Amino acid sequence: MKFFSTLMVLLGVSTLFGSFETALCAEAQIVNRIAATVNGRPVTSAEVRSRLVPYIRELMMLYPRQGPRFTAELVKAKKAVINELIERELVLSEFETKGMMLPETMVEEELNRRILYQFNGKREELLNTLRQSGMTLNDYRDSIRKETTVAAMRSTRYDRGIPPTPDEIRAEYNATKSDYRDITQDKITYEKIYMPVALLKEGETADQLYALALEVKQKIENKEMTFAEAAHSYSSDQHAEDGGLWPPMKRADLAVDFANVVFGLQPGELVGPLLDPNGFTLVRVISKELAPAPPLSKVKEAVDDAVRRKQSEKRYREWVTRLREKAVVRTFI
């Protein structure tokens, strides 16, 4: 759990619960250790952290008191990340003598794509995540370069089968077209109750505020009070007097972690108490307006690639399994 403890301190999200904060205070220094090696090729803990930080921030928001569900999700995420990085190094190790070089423009395009889809188009959010993980932007570019190289190598080796038919391309597009949207233009309308720790009276604790937020949520769910009534009584933001109803908000105007949570909800769904550095939030989604998907003509090449990858997935997985069986893989976290 030491690795996870370091992550929590880096995230700065333990300030509301003193016992948790005290348990982690010794882990405040970022150390870029070796997380794993693959045939002697290193995978650094900074790379693992950089991938986990956004996910952990969202988990901390959803599960303020951690608990078994939080721990289980975190362990699963860590295992998946390390396995992905090990697989990347397996493929790179196999092809390291090929001398394959990628245009820098491909790396830049992938960087911009990740900023759009993982950080709501906010470059500063990416830079903040990298700072928290102890990774530089150049390190991150190098990581992208490796992953893009692996994708190109896979395409060269396994994606040269029979070209997809127009029907296969159309079916893949219909199934995945939302993945190609400009998500920063998504809009959402929600009701919100905000309960900040700044309004705690002397002697009151964050634990008591969390318990109160949970009680308010239960009253709303049990129809003992309406959301608007609860907002009037308990909320402390600029829309409390409006019954907690916020005007339509663009995804790009919301904090990334908050946006990831609320846009994953269905209209009418109530979630919380969510944790942020200043208090707790209850949110109920009213409606969502998602940006339109681009026409197939604009993303046909990407859809074609996706079909080819799916067609070759079984053979690719078998190849990676063989690579792993003959490789020397060691993990240290």
Adjacency order of strands within the sheet including 249-250: 249-250, 187-196, 279-289, 270-276
263 close to 248: Cβ distance less than 8 angstroms: no
pLDDT at 70: 86
214 close to 322: Cβ distance less than 8 angstroms: no
Q: Is the pTM for the entire model greater than 0.85?
A: no
Tell me: the pLDDT tens digits for 7-31? 444 344 444 444 333 333 333 344 5
315: Cα separation from own chain's centroid: 29
For 183-289, the fitting CATH number among 3.10.50.40, 3.30.460.10, 3.40.50.1220, 3.40.50.1100 is: 3.10.50.40
Q: Where in the chain is the domain with CATH 3.10.50.40?
A: 183-289
pLDDT at 219: 95
Amino acid at 176: T
> Which of these, 133, 152, 154, lies nearest to 144 by C-alpha position?
152
Buried/exposed code over 88-104 (b: 16+ C-beta within 10 A; e: otherwise):
bbbbbbbbeeeeeeeee
pLDDT at 100: 61
Q: Where in the chain is the domain with CATH 1.10.4030.10?
A: 2-180+295-331
Assigned token pair, 171: 């079916």
- The β-bridge partners of 187 are 250, 289
> Which of these, 301, 272, 303, 302, lies nearest to 285 by C-alpha position?
272
Helix (H) or strand (E) holding 8: helix 2-11
19 close to 4: Cβ distance less than 8 angstroms: no
pLDDT at 119: 85
pLDDT at 159: 64
Tell me: the pLDDT tens digits for 56-67? 888 888 887 777
pLDDT at 130: 86
For 2-180+295-331, the fitting CATH number among 1.10.3720.10, 1.10.4030.10, 2.40.37.10, 3.40.30.10 is: 1.10.4030.10
Point out the residues of the chain with pLDDT beneath 70: 1-32, 96-102, 159-161
Cα dist from 312 to 80, 91, 94, 141, 305, whole Å: 21, 16, 18, 27, 11
pLDDT at 270: 94
